[in-house]
Amino acid sequence: MTDAAVSSRILLLGYGNPARGDDGLGPACAAAAASWNLPRLTVDQDYQLKLEDAAAVAAHAVVIFVDAAAEGPAPFAFLAVEPAPLSGFTTHALSPAQLLEIAHRSFGAAPEARLLAIRGYRFDYFCEELSPPAAANLRAAADFLKGYIAALDLADLSS
């Protein structure tokens, strides 16, 4: 992929387990973002971040990770993410920082990265709906995210 193609693309990775109540906030936010049909936005969702995601991360100028947060501010926190060395290795679950490190080491990529941590409250097994306060936090986070993406100047990131 050319530098111009990479510089015009944003990846949103929503992750979590929708069968665990509010843990499904990441995939729910990804589903909302996919409905926006933004031409420069690629949306993906899964239960967790995995090694295979490094190639997708490397192919984008901006990566936004979206996950549920069991603690922290409501309705959400929006944080910068920097690559971090792998302290242990598993092919089944990686942090956003570890995934960025793999993308950098494997592909020489250094996308701008953010974590949208949406506050959840109920993380029960076998509960496939969001709690009412988490659903409200999701709406606030999705509204913020749509505005953030619309205002993002990708030309600044290609240098």
pLDDT at 78: 98
pLDDT at 88: 64
Query: String of b and e for 100-113 (b: at least 16 CB within 10 Å)?
Result: bbbbbeeeebebbb
Is the per-residue pLDDT at 5 higher than 60?
no
Secondary structure of residue 154 in the 3-state scheme: helix
H or E element: which one contains 77?
Answer: strand 76-80
Is the per-residue pLDDT at 27 higher than 70?
yes
Q: Pick from 121, 104, 139: which is nearest to 68 by CA?
A: 121
Question: Tens digit of pLDDT for each residue in 138-153?
Answer: 999 999 999 999 998 7
Whole-angstrom distance, CA of residue 38 vs CA of residue 45: 16
Least confident segment among 36-40, 80-84, 135-139: 36-40
Single-letter amino acid, residue 139: R
Is the per-residue pLDDT at 93 higher than 90?
no
pLDDT at 85: 83
